[in-house]
Structure 1
Amino acid sequence: MLIKGIHHVSAITAKAKENYDFYTNLLGLRLVKKSVNQDDPTVYHLFYADKIGNPGTDFTFFEIPHAGRTIHGVSSISTTSLRVPNDTALTYWKNRFQQHGIDHDSITEQGNRKVIPFRDPEGQRLILISDENNTGVLGGTPWEHSPVPAQYAIIGLGPVTLTVHDATPTVAILTNVLTFKEGTNYPSSHSKQKDIRVFSTGEGGAGAEVHLEERTDLPRERLGRGGVHHVAFRVEDDTELLKWHARLQEVRIPNSGIVDRYYFKALYFREPNGILFELSTDGPGFTTDEDVNHLGETLALPPFLEDRRSEIEAKLTPLHTKRD
């Protein structure tokens, strides 16, 4: 039983069209699946990733129209990192952000890696992180039709930062229940706060890290647009996911049971600070129901929703994603 790294991160948007424009046309990711929230099929669930949606490259968004803005605080996934090939790519992105008026900071360092923090139009807290000094879990394959040149393209998810009031119970879940090990740390950018602690699993590296920030100066986060709903961690297959379910039952952690999301199977639970974790299988993947050359161009529904297609499509605001 081994957690292999980050599988995906799921966040919230209030505006699917603007979200699609930013993550595809500005960040250059591929929309690999245009679907719906399986728990509320009246709204979109958009999946952005590398060329084929490899595990570890997938950044997803639930559309919640009229969602209020996120009030930042603890018990949150406070930052999502996106990997780029090297330090030179960060310079490209800094210039791109300046040209397009994207809210961003200067290039700085996070441990031994260079990074550039930035925000999407809804205030989603993001970091581009350089793979220059990175080892471990490999990145994905850039899409050849991306507006961003391949040598600078985003190649997958990097570390997620969890922000909590008391790190102790979260550390216990990461290390005693899951398979993370604590490594180095680096200084917080907030004065009078503890260093940020780094935990890694599997082959390690940016694609297999959780960064844990302890903040005593913040209230509990109120989640809305521009916030992160959950982080999912990779497990090999269905057999291993069953073992993880048994493990959670053994240590008496309330959980969802195994849920078939069609593109992968999932198991959800909350760690003691209230952050939602998911364990997800690497397969079967996003090419299960669409040709690789046409991923994300039409509305994809899992089989159990297919007989409701007309009803579902009638309630969705049209979103044109077909390539010309």
Structure 2
Amino acid sequence: MELKGLHHVSALTANAAANFEFYTQVMGMRLVKKTVNQDDTSVYHLFYGDDQANPGTELTFFEIPNAGRNRDGVDSISGTSLRVASDQALAYWKQRLEQYEVEHEEIKQRFGRATLALRDREGMRLILVSDEKNTGVAGGIPWAGSSIPQEYGIVGLGPVHLTVREPEATAYVLTEIMRFRLKGTYPALVEGQPDIQVYETGQGGTGAEVHIEPRTDLAEERLGRGGVHHVAFRVDNEAELRKWVDRIQEMRLPSSGFVDRYYFGALYFREPNGILFELSTDGPGFDVDEDMLHLGEKLALPPFLEEKREQIEAKLKPLVTT
């Protein structure tokens, strides 16, 4: 029962078409599944990943039309990292972001790694992180269909950043319940605030880290477009996930129990600062109902929603992804 690393991060967008354009054309990520929110089938759920839709590479978005902009604050998933192979790749990305007029910072060191922070068109906080000195969980494969040179392409999710008012409570859940390890600390990015704590699981490295940033100077976040809904961590298979269901219940954390998402099994629960965590299985995967060469081209529905396809499609605004 050891979590393998990050599985996916799910955020909110108010415009699926613009979101698709940004993440495929600017960021060079592959749309690996075009489906709907299984809890609200009137809205899209888009999954972006690497060339082979590997777990640990997926950034997903629920479309909430007319959603207000996210109000950044504490008790939130405040940063989502995307891994690239090298420091040289970051230099390429800095020029690319300037070319596409994407808001970004300068390249700076975080926990001994070169990083480049940016915001997407809706203000989502992203951090490109170099794997040049990385050891641990392997990255994925850059999308072959992207215009970005393969050596510079995004290879998966990097450290997820949590901003909280009470770091001890979150750290307790990570270490005592989820079996993460404290790896180290680095100086806060805001003067006068405590050091940022780094926790890792599994083989460790950029694909298996959570960074906790304590902040006492911010109001609570109000979730909107550009905000992050939840972060998911990798579990090897369903049998192991069901053991995690029992463990979370034994620790008296309110949870969803086992949820069949068809493409993976899931378990949802909130840590004490209110951040939503998910544990997700590596399989069956996104090619269970589509050919790997044609992922994301058509609206995919799990079997339990297929009989409602006509009603579901009638509520969705057409989204061309080919």
TM-score if structure 2 supplies the norm length?
Answer: 0.99
What SS does structure 1 have at the residue aligned with 2:77?
strand
Deviations 1:74-109 (A, max 9, x none): 110000000000000000000000111000011110
- Distance between the aligned counterparts of 2:182 and 2:208, measured in 1? 12
Listed as ranges, the matches of 1:81-230 within 5 Å are 81-230=81-230
Structure 2 residue identity aligned to 1:282: D
Please give the per-residue CA displacement for 1:148-171, whole angstroms capped at 9, x wherever unaligned.
Answer: 111000000000000000101111
Tell me the residue number matched to 1:70: 70
Q: Which residue of 1 aligns with 2:43?
A: 43
Separation of aligned partners in 2, 1:69 and 1:315:
24
In structure 2, what residue type is equivalent to 1:52? Q
| 1:272 counterpart letter in structure 2 | P
Could you tell me whether the CA contact under 8 Å between 1:14 and 1:64 is conserved in 2? Answer: yes
C-alpha distance in 2 between matches for 1:298 and 1:306: 13
Partners of 2:121 and 2:250 lie apart in 1 by 43
1-structure distance, mates of 2:48, 2:158: 14
**Aligned residue pairs: how many?**
322
User: How far 1:195 moved relative to its partner?
Assistant: 0.7
CA distance in structure 1 between the aligned counterparts of 2:174 and 2:215, rounded to whole angstroms = 18
Q: What is the aligned-residue identity percentage?
A: 62
Q: Using the TM superposition, give the Cα deviation of residue 53 of structure 1 relative to its aligned residue in structure 2, in angstroms.
A: 1.1
Mapped to 2, the partners of 1:201 and 1:292 lie a distance apart of: 29
- Other-structure match for 1:308: 308
Q: Aligned-pair distance for 1:268?
A: 0.2
Distance 1:179 1:207 in 2: 16
User: Residue 307 of structure 2 aligns to a residue in which SS?
Assistant: helix
- Residue 292 of structure 2 corresponds to 292
| Moved >4 Å (runs of 4+) | none
The one-character-per-residue Cα deviations of 1:172-203 (angstroms, maximum 9, x if unpaired) are: 00000001000111111111100100000000
Match of 2:65, as an amino acid? P
TM-score, normalization by structure 1: 0.99
Asked if 1:6 is matched to 2:32, the reply is no
RMSD (CA atoms): 0.5
SS at match of 1:170: helix
Classify the secondary structure of the residue corresponding to 1:12. strand
* Offset of residue 137 of structure 1: 0.1
How far 1:249 sits from its partner (Å)? 1.2
| CA-to-aligned-CA distance 1:237-284 (integer Å, 9 cap, x gap) | 001001001101111111001000000000000000000000000000
- Structure 1's unaligned 5+ residue stretches are none
Alpha-carbon shift at residue 126 of structure 1 (Å): 0.4
Note if contact 1:32-1:295 (Cα within 8 Å) is conserved in structure 2.
yes
Which amino acid in the other structure matches residue 54 of structure 1? Answer: N
Check the 8 A contact 1:182/1:197 in 2, yes or no: yes
Amino acid at match of 2:213: E
Whether contact under 8 Å (1:201, 1:209) holds in the other structure is yes
Matched residue, 2:57: 57
